[in-house]
Amino acid sequence: MTKIHLDTDIGGDMDDLCALAMILKWPDLEITGVTTVSDEQGRRAGYVQYVLSLVGRTDIPFAAGADVTGGYYRYELEYPPDEKNWPEPMTPRPGSPDQAVALLKRSIEQGAVIVGIGPFTNLMLLEKAYPGTLKQANLFLMGGHVFDIPTRYPQWDNEMDYNIQVDMPSACYVLERANLTLVPVTVSCQTALRRAYLPRLAQAGRLGQLIVLQAELCAKSEQNEQKYGETCPGLPKDIINFQHDSLACAIALGWHEGVEIEVVPLKLETRDSWLYEIPDSDGVPTHLVTKIDGKAFNEYWCDILCQILMNSRSV
């Protein structure tokens, strides 16, 4: 059975919720642990516990990791209001970052694929505590901005690469020491959570209903249908949000429709306080996802959540 460990900053952009929901519904998958990063005294860990409780998965271990008080992050992080985004009061679950590091280490020892969908802080702490661990891990990270984004999609610059830029020192530390696969914004910006999916998700139990709640709030606050749906011909007009994190998890678990992965040697450069990953023959060889079928992924994600696995969309 495939095993996965998720390292997440759930509670900001709702794509972390979409990713966690997807792996909870993924067939024949053991979740060995969930750790939170850029946490705030266990606030994100409390979100994780709540989501796990919705599907009766109290057996999955979780731990609060690196905290915002650690001074790692470029700026003060914000959360959408709990009273609107969650159907009941959330209880924080604080803990020591050492517990998160220990849980990550145990998952690696169990042979789990490690998927990081937030800042790389916990992974930096793991490598510092146990040097060489990231070379042995099967590691997939959502982040990176190496090649230009195709013209039919949002023309974001390097500064939009949140997971790397918000904690640049940890990103440098991990990228220079890990044997990893990057799922960059170049491809993740080709995915979409569509308004068309909401009626089906509303019938997909409490987990689906939570996604609908947050999706409707996201649609109002971000207005991505106007911002991107009307301006980017590669995206559906009813885009509510991007599926950066769900895509990273799916590729780590073997989803491969239209997926191309290249080994690209990357050199890291800092320019005006921003990190750039530059293809360079003297750089660190890095597995980089360079192509996907975004439309196919959008449908696949919805089918997973609604438990409709078509043969044509199997991994």
How confident is the model over 6-52, as pLDDT tens digits?
Answer: 999 999 899 999 999 999 999 999 999 999 999 999 999 999 999 99
What is the rounded average pLDDT of the residues 293-306? 97
Q: Does the pLDDT value for residue 4 go beyond 80?
A: yes
Banded pLDDT at 79 (limits 50, 70, 90): confident
Least confident stretch, 114-118, 168-172, 270-274 = 270-274
Q: Whole-model pTM?
A: 0.96
**For the chain, what are the domain ranges?**
2-313
What is the rounded average pLDDT of the residues 46-60? 96
pLDDT of residue 307: 85
Give the tens place of pLDDT for each residue, 280-298: 999 999 999 999 999 999 9
- What is the rounded average pLDDT for all residues in the chain? 95
What is the rounded average pLDDT of the residues 56-83? 94
List phi, psi (to 5°) of 45: -60, -35
Closest C-alpha among 94, 86, 111, 91 to residue 36 = 94
What is the rounded average pLDDT of the residues 260-285? 95
Q: Does the pLDDT value for residue 164 go beyond 80?
A: yes
| Percentage above 90 pLDDT, the chain | 94
pLDDT of residue 314: 36
Banded pLDDT at 310 (limits 50, 70, 90): very low
Q: Does the pLDDT value for residue 180 go beyond 70?
A: yes
pLDDT of residue 308: 55
Query: How far apart, in whole angstroms, are the C-alpha atoms of residue 275 and residue 121?
Result: 15
pLDDT of residue 190: 98
Question: b/e per residue, 260-283, with b = 16+ CB within 10 A?
Answer: eeeebebebeeeeebbbbeeeeeb
Q: Does the pLDDT value for residue 86 go beyond 60?
A: yes
pLDDT of residue 311: 32
Q: Does the pLDDT value for residue 312 go beyond 60?
A: no
Bridge partner list, 141 = 116, 182
Class of domain 2-313: alpha beta
Banded pLDDT at 232 (limits 50, 70, 90): very high
Give the tens place of pLDDT for each residue, 240-266: 999 999 999 999 999 999 999 999 999
What is the rounded average pLDDT of the residues 75-90? 91
Least confident stretch, 8-22, 168-182, 297-311 = 297-311
Reported as half-sphere exposure (CB side, CA atoms, 13 A), residue 182 has a value of: 30
